[in-house]
A and B are shown apart, each in its own frame.
Chain A
Amino acid sequence: MSKLILTVDDSASMRMLLKTSLTAQGYRIESANDGQHGLERMHEVQPDLLITDINMPKMDGFELIEAVRAEGQFRGLPILVLSTEFSDEKKQRARSAGATGWITKPFEATKLGAAIRRVCP
């Protein structure tokens, strides 16, 4: 069975881009449209990897990651954050929230795949 990825982004076009790109690379994709929705879907979907945007209404990406990490069952889950830029400060913020790594938007399909393979066998 191919790996299941939950993508969380408030932009439908970004969700579709991720889905198109990742489906083509053999992943199965489920998605959610904000942090809160993402947290709910986590339990339902039980993904192998979580990819989340940072800036979202209701609950932002960092809050989502912290909430996910706080749950014992998701402690070993690889998590990637998406953003248009990653300063050292932002990387540190992502790390302290519990992110495993990051992907800079806009992404090329190969870069995206490489980042995923870096955290998810």
Chain B
Amino acid sequence: MSDELDEIQAIFFEECTEGLAAAEQGLSAMQTGDISAETIAGVFRAVHSIKGGAGAFGHADLTAFAHRFENVLDEVRGGKIAPTPGVIKVMLSSFDVLADHVETAKGLAPRPNDAAALAALEKVLADKGVVEDGGAPAAAAPAAAPAPVAAAPAEDDFGFMPVAFSLDDFDAPAGPAASVASWTIRFKPSRAALANASEPMLLIRELETLGATVESVDVSDVPPLRDLDPEDAYFTWLLSMPGDVPRNDIDDCFDFVAPDSLIEITRNEVEAPAPAFEPIPAPSLDLEPPAEDLIPFVPVTASIEDLTAQVQQVVADLAATPMTPTPAPVMPTESAAPKQANEASQTIRVDLSKLDLLLNLVGELVIRNSILADRLSPADRQRVELPELARLTRQIQDNVMSLRAQPIKQAFSRVPRMLRDLSVETGKQIELETVGETTEVDKGVIEKIGDPLTHMIRNAADHGLESTEERIAAGKSPVGTIKLSAEQKGARIFVRVQDNGRGINRERVKAKAIEKGIISADAVLSNEEIDQLICAPGFSTAETISNISGRGVGMDVVRSNVEALGGRVEIHSVPGEGTTFTMILPLTLAILDGMIVRLASQRFVLPLAHVLETVQPEPGQVKRTSPDTEVIDMRGEYVPVKRTTEIFGLNDDRLIEDSLVVIVESEHGKVGLVVDTIDDRREVVIKSLDQNLHPIRGLGGATILGDGSIALILDIEALVASANRYTPKGLAA
């Protein structure tokens, strides 16, 4: 964090340099007679910005001086002080002192003596600009003036200096009376406050966190419906607040909606008028102890208890990490101390391994939920409130997942620097455009896309973009553009690297692929298939190995890295217009909503995100269009049919009319997958295969089903892609 702040502070100092230059330029212009409002406003803005930033970084001396300087500039800007040559002279010498203060803030110089300049500025303010033209500002301020200024460094009129905690008046009523004293608050927001998007309920909630309770809401002002103005406010809230809450804190809540709203705060010293609230019993969560014969699977329940206990343990560990309390209704008492504790940081740092453990456990909890659902009859599921348990589990799971989510910006952040270097190396002019860098992705995904991303960018800069001369000759802008974007669609993240360069030279790619033996010489390939060859193992088209992307690592490594994450790489190229590489990545590496289907008596999981519909084919609905192509007629649309069994070499002699066809869709279009039966729909926890097995295209992983058996998860994207295009070496190769 402090590194980050240092970095930002370095930028602030750069801005100071720019601001000082702008101020100097403006002041010089004023000296030569240009006293236009624009010039004066420019100087004011420069000094104002320096003050703002200095305050943020705790440079009190610089802030204080800039503030005094700004006061004078503000008066000049507002026409209250005329920019006479004498005044301009004071401002110029103040400028020099301001520049010295900036050097001091940078740690490059000792604190300048600014007493004379401050005195001169004060004098200009006091005299409303009547400064003898001849009098040097330094000389105009002999001993007397500097003293009070130096003695009281600005606390008085600085709205942004830390405000000393006030203990006056009502703040801390001492003695036993405090316990019964209370505040009564009446509040009716004004129409103007509502028009400015003030939300009364947020305000009420804030008051509640201070300890207030809503006693009643007066709705007597609500007019008949026909007279009701939907943009006006008619409710008046009546709240009571414990008497030990400082008045300032209450007033502060109303800061944004005062003064035109109705706000009445009165103090009741003796009697607490709070009505006696009937304590509302918390809804009981106890279940009727179920009869033994209805729930015979005690071990499963026990293991849920186990898991719950473990999750609780992890959560307790997290809570045990030194952190500050959440903003619960803690009542500030007589000193400021509890208040400060309440306002300290609301974030904690957590060891990532704890989050991973939590995610893992929640995954197991999801599985146990499925097992329970499997073993109980629908009536019993309701009886033990299993749907509620499932919903809670789901919420925990979403929350744990969001804990691991980070903006993808982290992966993007090194790209600008890299492109500047590449621009120098290649002599190409490159402009970077970034879109969607706030898209949130699982931290594990972010960590692993860095290298593929680097290679894709290098590839785009080196091979994708033409040289400046080539671009000009082609009638394009001499500056090439690389657009880096990220977006979330469903459960997938799309990361694109798009250049507006020459596009893929398909003739050359094909020739090279034949030469390398990747495809046979007589292979007939679509444009898309040729583009995909770039990612084939051992492929490199650069005629001369370049220093940049020809380092023995090709796009095939990008592809294998991305596939290891359960993602895919897609290439789209238009000759002369450019190439787009897309990494399609899973949002999370852990859980999937799936449809359980049977193929040749084995069970598989189809990711539900891809499933459009299911049909039982009528005789004649499936047509053979070529010896190895079948299509299904879906209300006039012909969708290719894939016998999933063939893909994995399973024996299947069922007639298509005895099977079901699940229509799935991916980026590549629709495909009908032939399955025997559909068993269920359920959430499954993805267990990676590649630690144990060689990656198999078409399979996305495995999972444990409710009955403890294992099912493989189908990778629909890969299946559809293979169904819709020729694959040189077959899918399962």
**Cβ of B679 < 8 Å from any Cβ of A?**
no
Contacts of B203 in A (CB 8 A): 118
Contacts of B108 in A (CB 8 A): none
Contact, CB under 8 Å: B343 / A29:
no
Q: Give A6-38 as 1s and 0s: 1 = Cβ < 8 Å from B's Cβ atoms.
A: 000011111011001001110011100000000
B23-76 interface with A by 8 A CB criterion? 44-45, 48-49, 51-53, 55-57, 67
Contact, CB under 8 Å: B196 / A11:
no
**A56 CB to closest chain B CB, in angstroms?**
8
A95's partner among B196, B344, B440 (CB-CB below 8 A) is: B196
Q: Give B320-358 as 1s and 0s: 1 = Cβ < 8 Å from A's Cβ atoms.
A: 000000000000000000000001111100000000000
Closest to B435 in A: A44
Contact, CB under 8 Å: A11 / B256:
no
Contacts of B51 in A (CB 8 A): 84
Given contact pairs A16-B8, A28-B407, A99 touches B196 in the complex (Cβ within 8 A): yes
Contacts of B11 in A (CB 8 A): 12-13, 16
Contact, CB under 8 Å: A118 / B196:
no
**Cβ of B197 < 8 Å from any Cβ of A?**
yes
Given contact pairs A100-B198, A117-B202, A86 touches B159 in the complex (Cβ within 8 A): yes
Total interface residues on B, CB under 8 Å, equals 43
**B324 CB to closest chain A CB, in angstroms?**
10
Contact, CB under 8 Å: B160 / A85:
yes
**A62 CB to closest chain B CB, in angstroms?**
13
Closest to A29 in B: B438
Contact, CB under 8 Å: A106 / B55:
yes
Closest to A95 in B: B196
Given contact pairs A17-B56, A119-B199, A110 touches B344 in the complex (Cβ within 8 A): yes
Given contact pairs A25-B347, A113-B346, A119 touches B197 in the complex (Cβ within 8 A): yes
Contact, CB under 8 Å: B197 / A76:
yes
Contacts of B45 in A (CB 8 A): 10, 55-57
Closest to A50 in B: B197
Q: Give B697-718 as 1s and 0s: 1 = Cβ < 8 Å from A's Cβ atoms.
A: 0000000000000000000000
Docked Cα-Cα span, A86 to B9, in Å, equals 25
Contacts of B202 in A (CB 8 A): 117-121
* Secondary structure dominating the interface of B: helix
**Cβ of A39 < 8 Å from any Cβ of B?**
no
Given contact pairs A85-B160, A121-B199, A105 touches B347 in the complex (Cβ within 8 A): no
A104's partner among B4, B67, B159, B199 (CB-CB below 8 A) is: B159
**Cβ of A61 < 8 Å from any Cβ of B?**
no
Docked Cα-Cα span, A10 to B42, in Å, equals 13
Contact, CB under 8 Å: A105 / B407:
no
Closest to B4 in A: A20
Total interface residues on A, CB under 8 Å, equals 50
**Cβ of A87 < 8 Å from any Cβ of B?**
yes
Contact, CB under 8 Å: A13 / B15:
yes
Docked Cα-Cα span, A77 to B365, in Å, equals 40
Contact, CB under 8 Å: B256 / A101:
yes
**A40 CB to closest chain B CB, in angstroms?**
15
**Cβ of B158 < 8 Å from any Cβ of A?**
yes
B196's partner among A25, A79, A105 (CB-CB below 8 A) is: A79
**Cβ of A59 < 8 Å from any Cβ of B?**
no
B596-644 interface with A by 8 A CB criterion? none
Q: Give B175-202 as 1s and 0s: 1 = Cβ < 8 Å from A's Cβ atoms.
A: 0000000000000000010011111001
Docked Cα-Cα span, A87 to B74, in Å, equals 14
Q: Give A81-121 as 1s and 0s: 1 = Cβ < 8 Å from B's Cβ atoms.
A: 00011110000000100111110111111110110011111
**Cβ of B206 < 8 Å from any Cβ of A?**
yes
Docked Cα-Cα span, A100 to B190, in Å, equals 12
**Cβ of B255 < 8 Å from any Cβ of A?**
yes
**B379 CB to closest chain A CB, in angstroms?**
37
**Cβ of A4 < 8 Å from any Cβ of B?**
yes
Contacts of A13 in B (CB 8 A): 8-9, 11-12, 15, 53, 56
Docked Cα-Cα span, A10 to B206, in Å, equals 32
Given contact pairs A11-B15, A16-B8, A23-B407, A105 touches B56 in the complex (Cβ within 8 A): yes
Query: Would you list 10 pairs from A and B whose C-beta atoms are within 8 A, ordered by A residue?
Result: A2-B440, A4-B438, A25-B347, A55-B44, A55-B49, A79-B197, A84-B51, A98-B196, A110-B345, A119-B198
Binding site for B on A (CB under 8 A): 2, 4, 10-14, 16-17, 20, 23-25, 28-30, 55-57, 69, 75-79, 84-87, 95, 98-102, 104-111, 113-114, 117-121
**New A-B contacts (12) at CB < 8 Å, excluding given A23-B407, A24-B347, A120-B202:** A14-B53, A55-B48, A79-B197, A99-B196, A100-B196, A100-B198, A105-B56, A107-B56, A110-B345, A119-B197, A119-B198, A119-B202
